[in-house]
Structure 1
């Protein structure tokens, strides 16, 4: 009995020493897991709030290629659909809205009513609207003009030179040229009536209150 008691007594402290070591290791592993999870969640929230960087779109590319606001507008001399020619430099002293388009372009079609409204409303304020068609035959252009009842000047860029000079690699694309021949506003993609009105107002072409 004395031997058994002695053996039992000698093993008990060893067992008591082993339990805290395993317990401490388990607690450390649990704390490490909690720490890793906390860091991961914090990083996830930061990424969510900041937003993942978007891949460049075709619109970003076209905007980067467009003529810069504040630079002189390239001159052009183009045949008019109704005969004769139009030269941009001949319009110096008047604001000019230059729009590049084609009949097959759906966004071009959607913005035509706004362009024609602008042309009619601001004609007495000296604004000239020039729609430059890209690479289409006069018959196709004439049909388009009649379909929409367009009242502004239509020019024909038959060889694409004007489009190249104006860095038009996608349509529609529109520029507001000030009376001094400097580009004041650019639209890459379809414009809206309100956006053009704001640009004209900034240019000092606000319509008189009725």
Structure 2
């Protein structure tokens, strides 16, 4: 009870930052915040619905004033056509965990493990630095480095403030989309209590939607339960790292990869069997249940990769977006990097800034980076090239539907690295934060010493 009283007192205390009447997160170790949300979108021929749940455990405090947060984010999606209602209850929520350091103003620390599905800003948006920004508005880059959230000035409301945010970035222009939120902040508790969202999209699935997430509970763990949770989190993230390391073994042949994945599964089972903390034991159970299908997918991918690496690159001739003719044979003597993409591939677009960096890094060297665009409409390709400011040539391969398959391409983006003699030496599938580093290493290994 004393622990609870101390935490409640800390939540209600006036912080130094609050001297200016600014919103600040007032989080103490042991607090557990749970948010639940739902959304609905109406497209031209389809209705879509989503449900989500976000839980944040505050597990510690650092000397720099930040708190350590473990976050679980889960969601599920359903759609229906012909006026039917989407059936959300048919599938369980799919969860992912992450952890990070959070400052009272919403800044994130430099250390953390945040996967693609973990978005701290959904419940911990950036708050204004000072009174001037609180009145005029402020902005914050997305934690994934892709896009910016722009916030309007604070508006007083009973019990706290509200403020609106607007997402701005290349994806909004590529997909003709908008995303705005109205965030309601509880001044006494020092947390977001509700977020209302509106979205529109004009490319692909054309339509609009709304959504709401709301704080549904605030619990406090006693010291023993908190310590048990922290031990469980450490064991879970250690097992998670072992799995991710096995998937990163891109230089392994299928047999070696199968062995690495089997070892990773064994690590998950070992961690689950030793886990006494309920939240993470359940999470490991779900990971283990779905692991065999992941293994099959990864092995199929590795086999496709092995089928092209070390083999002569498939020949092609195609026009560039500028109308200039291109022939792979004309690039003999250079390291050639082929990036297969199309406008509707969001991960392709997200990878493009890194492809630009690779292009700039090897400027003046015998390296040719080429975008291999499969869009049927040249206007789609041109829009992406213009919005993303691509610094490398874009090749139109829409008339050669078999070419991606000749390089083993099934998922997008796929990047192929070809040596100066015309032999495929490396393949990278999908988006990764370290794509630039991986490609740079692959290319440098093929350049003359």
TM-score (norm 1): 0.69
Choose 132-141 or 156-165, whichever is displaced more: 156-165
User: How far did residue 106 of structure 1 move?
Assistant: 1.2
Larger Rg: 1
Change (3 A) 1:146 1:205: farther
In 1, the alpha carbon distance for the partners of 2:391 and 2:292 equals 40
Structure having the larger proportion of residues in strand: 2
Number of aligned positions between the proteins: 162
Change (3 A) 1:98 1:137: same
In 1, the alpha carbon distance for the partners of 2:404 and 2:337 equals 15
Bigger relative contact order, structure 1 or 2, given CA contacts below 8 A and separation 6+?
A: 1
In 1, the alpha carbon distance for the partners of 2:403 and 2:299 equals 22
Tell me the equivalent position of 1:203: 446
The correspondence for 1:102, drawn from 320, 325, 342, is: 342
In 2, the alpha carbon distance for the partners of 1:171 and 1:205 equals 30
Change (3 A) 1:101 1:60: farther
Show CA shifts across 1:23-74 (max 9, x none): xxxxxxxxxxxxxxxxxxxxxx998339969223345433432343211111
- Give the conservation status (yes or no) of the 8 Å contact 1:102–1:136: no
Tell me the equivalent position of 2:361: 121
For 1:19-98, list aligned pairs within 5 A.
48-49=269-270, 54-57=291-294, 58-66=297-305, 67-98=307-338
Tell me the equivalent position of 2:24: none
Runs of 4+ in 1 over 2 A off after TM superposition: 45-54, 56-68
Choose 154-163 or 86-95, whichever is displaced more: 154-163
In 2, the alpha carbon distance for the partners of 1:199 and 1:46 equals 30
User: How far did residue 89 of structure 1 move?
Assistant: 1.1
Matched, 1:177 2:414: no
Structure having the larger proportion of residues in helix: 1
Matched, 1:147 2:390: no
Matched, 1:162 2:403: yes
Choose 185-194 or 61-70, whichever is displaced more: 61-70
User: How far did residue 136 of structure 1 move?
Assistant: 2.9
Q: Unmatched 5+ residue regions in structure 2? A: 1-265, 273-287
TM-score (norm 2): 0.34
